[in-house]
Chain A
Amino acid sequence: MSEFRPYTLVAELTYRCPLRCPYCSNPLDWARRRDEIDTKTWLRTLREAEDLGVVQVNLTGGEPLLRDDLEAIVETARMLDLYTNLITSGIPLPRERLARLRAAGLDNVQVSVQDVVAEGSDRIAGLASFKKKLEVARWVKELGMPLTLNIVLHRDNLDRVAGMIELAEGLRADRLELANTQYLGWALTNRRALLPTRDQLDRARTIAAKARQRLLGRMEVLFVTPDYYGQYPKSCMDGWGRRFIVVSPEGQVLPCHVAHTLPGFTFESVRDRPLGEIWANSSALNAFRGEGWMPEPCRSCDRRARDFGGCRCQAYHLTGDASATDPACVLAPSHGLIEAARAEAATSAAGLRYRAPVIPSE
């Protein structure tokens, strides 16, 4: 048995999605990955996850609604008494299906919009979808379910945070996630066009903090800052292989959404072995558990048990070394990379490259 107990299973049911957001955390070559695990394997994975200690499951993707076995998956999750969140774009979702999902035991629905104005939201989504999303959000509340509204923040919409809060209040959302883009996957490709300035970020954060106080007890207002403007790194996923299990559409067991992009690791699949064995024995999951792998300045840092050295994927994608200190940390030898990206963002007028069903050439 592993000394670590997972509490949350992130079930990435598919990479397919009708939206094309240029900050998507899915793999750049998602379109090449077609080999999704079947219903039976997902239901077994849920049972094995619960057996390991998982109490919450996030059904996500891609767009989980594109799986026609979503009802069966929700039903089994609920039967296992897992708190079940659907993380969705709301496209495509007829009201009757939402009602069926509720009847199957769905606990919470998180709907994303990309902006507060249709034009901005549809531009980022790459699809006319804003109105439909709001309709779905209203249905969630009409059917008596809690609603989380999620909006990913970036340079072009960060100045509209006040409007986002107003939108969430109007929808009677229970939780508003204002989550700044983190620069991995498609977002790293589009960093020059997405990264905000520090002034923008500070203004938005102040507005969100005031709303959090005003709405205390009614709506939870979450404001996630971009790693690029933090002084110290976040405890990414609460530490590698500690509290979260991510299972990819193909069944790979990962510590986070992005870890399959790290070279030199073999992530095992729930197709081949029970989840419990993988959780305890996977060499990839064990690679960054504990503190033995840490380089300086992490190894002797008094924050190491709090942030676990930050994000391994960010370390790899910026420095080429997955075991380096997260460059987001001001103490990291590579922190200059972050400073340079910020300086570049302040002057850049780059365009967006959309998530598309082609293999991007780097």
Chain B
Amino acid sequence: MNAISRDSRLKLAAKARLRYDRKADRHMLLYPERGLVLNATGTDVVQLCTGEHTVGVIVDQLAAKYGQDAPTVEREVMTFLTALAERGLVQEIA
């Protein structure tokens, strides 16, 4: 698996589907026989994984939205995206 960088463009894998969970007012990322409960930031990241934006752009957008410094947000986003990539839930597009 290639490491994710600021220049990576990611999109959700075919097997993953984001679903709003009205029972608990949150989003879940569903894939075969499994599901991940996402917090608000995680949901934002997944929604931005359309292949359009680089990871760097996603980080900057979130840093602006939540008023946090970019390096902190970048560390968190990288950790989260790496965990998703290890599960095959996001894929890097060339």
**Which A residues lie at the B interface, using CB under 8 A?**
5, 7-8, 53, 55-56, 58, 81, 83, 85, 107-108, 110, 144-146, 148, 174-175, 216-220
Contacts and interface: CB of A to CB of B under 8 A. Distances in A.
A132 B17 CA distance: 29
Contact of B30 (A5, A56, A58, A145): A56
Query: Which one of B14, B31, B33, B88 has the highest number of Cβ atoms from chain A below 10 Å of its Cβ?
Result: B33
19 contacts: A55-B28, A55-B30, A58-B33, A81-B20, A83-B31, A83-B35, A107-B15, A107-B17, A108-B15, A108-B31, A110-B32, A146-B13, A146-B14, A174-B13, A174-B14, A174-B88, A175-B15, A216-B86, A217-B1
B33 A56 contact: yes
- Interface range for B: 10 to 19
B19 A108 contact: no
B15 A85 contact: no
A5 B87 CA distance: 25
Given A55-B28, A56-B30, A219-B88, A146 B15 contact: yes
A171 to B, nearest CB: 14
B32 A175 contact: yes
B18 to A, nearest CB: 10
Nearest to B92: A217
A280 B86 CA distance: 37
A144 B14 contact: yes
Contacts of B85: 217
B35 A220 contact: no
Contact of B1 (A8, A81, A216): A216
B19 A83 contact: yes
B35 A56 contact: yes
A174 B15 CA distance: 8
A220 B14 contact: no
Contacts of A144: 14
B86 A217 contact: yes
B51 to A, nearest CB: 16
A5 B23 contact: yes
DSSP majority for the A interface? Answer: loop
Given A83-B19, A145-B14, A146-B14, A7 B35 contact: yes
B88 A217 contact: yes
B19 A146 contact: no
Nearest to B15: A146
A108 B32 CA distance: 7
Contacts of B17: 83, 107
Contacts of A175: 15, 32
A64 to B, nearest CB: 16
Nearest to B85: A217
Contacts of B30: 55-56, 83, 107
Contacts of A216: 1, 86
B1 A218 contact: yes
B94 to A, nearest CB: 15
A220 B19 contact: no
Contact of B87 (A7, A146, A220): A220
Given A216-B1, A216-B86, A148 B23 contact: no
B76 interface: no
Contacts of B21: 55
A58 B35 CA distance: 14
A145 B17 CA distance: 12
Nearest to B28: A55
Contacts of A107: 15, 17, 30, 32
